[in-house]
């Protein structure tokens, strides 16, 4: 998987599994698989904790699987902490540890009222030529990659422009309606709302990169949202990301089941 697709996959996968519910304390576990074509290349397990309807924490582990694990060992740990404000989740801290083979990198982003207050990357990244810097304007009114893909019931989910920042890249995901279809998995069986997604790179990337250019020109990226009744939110159950090597799909294999 190309570098950009890996990061979008990690972000989308985390959002697939960050499903809150209404109770004094909720512990919610969800699982999924990611495939390249017909081959399963990664699996993940996430745990969501919500306390007193006020604060939340989502943590997850992701690892390569199948033939991909024979080529290179990929693993990641990610988490997000924040507060529940109204019907939305607002992050205060987003964390991602990513390891591919012997190389590892950690991203940590701090938020205040939706604005980025700090970003720490370890080890520091050596910026290449033609790097598009993240401007101060791009750091205001920004969503984290996990909470940003969860919507309260009643939201027109396919009429959204999502300003996402993952610790390095600032991107917009522009959603538009593409119909609906049946979706079934452990814990859910019903209609899913399908959104077409247009990927718009804003900053935090090398200009002229082929994978970014490919995805930004593609019209085949989509996200399927399903309503989790206990949580009263819409969250993704399926994501399709076109790449130069074939489509990467992320599918929830457990959704809404404890």
Task: Note the pTM of the prediction, 2 decimals.
Answer: 0.85
Domain ranges of the chain: 3-254
Provide the residue-wise pLDDT of the chain in tens; the chain has 258 residues.
445 555 555 565 555 555 554 545 556 667 788 888 878 888 887 777 777 667 888 888 888 776 555 556 778 888 899 887 766 678 999 999 988 888 899 999 999 988 999 999 999 988 888 999 999 999 999 988 887 887 877 889 999 999 999 899 999 999 999 999 999 988 889 999 999 999 999 999 999 988 889 999 999 999 999 887 666 678 888 999 988 888 888 898 888 655
Q: How far apart are the C-alpha atoms of 236 and 13, rounded to whole Å?
A: 9
Q: How far apart are the C-alpha atoms of 15 and 57, rounded to whole Å?
A: 12
> Residue 193: what pLDDT?
96
C-beta separation of 171 from 201 below 8 A: yes
């Amino acid at each position: 998987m190309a570098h950009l697709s890996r990061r979008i996959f990690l972000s989308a996968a985390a959002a697939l599994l960050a499903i809150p519910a209404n109770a004094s304390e909720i512990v919610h576990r969800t699982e999924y698989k990611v495939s390249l074509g017909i081959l399963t290349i990664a699996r993940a397990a996430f745990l969501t904790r919500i306390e007193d309807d006020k604060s939340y924490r989502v943590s997850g582990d992701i690892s390569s699987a199948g033939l991909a694990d024979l080529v290179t060992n990929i693993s990641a740990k990610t988490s997000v902490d924040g507060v529940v404000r109204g019907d939305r989740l607002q992050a205060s801290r987003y964390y991602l540890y990513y390891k591919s083979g012997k190389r590892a990198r950690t991203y940590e982003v701090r938020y205040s009222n939706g604005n980025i207050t700090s970003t720490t990357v370890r080890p520091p990244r050596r910026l290449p030529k033609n790097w598009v810097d993240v401007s101060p304007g791009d750091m205001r009114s920004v969503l984290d990659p996990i909470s940003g893909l969860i919507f309260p019931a009643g939201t027109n989910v396919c009429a959204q422009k999502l300003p996402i920042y993952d610790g390095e890249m600032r991107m917009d995901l522009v959603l538009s309606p593409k119909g609906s279809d049946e979706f079934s998995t452990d814990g859910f069986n019903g209609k899913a709302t399908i959104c077409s997604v247009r990927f718009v790179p804003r900053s935090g990337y090398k200009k002229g990169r082929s994978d970014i250019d490919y995805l930004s020109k593609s019209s085949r990226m989509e996200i399927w949202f399903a309503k989790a009744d206990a949580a009263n939110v819409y969250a993704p159950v399926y994501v399709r990301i076109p790449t130069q090597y074939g489509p990467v799909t992320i599918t929830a294999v457990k959704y809404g089941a404890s």
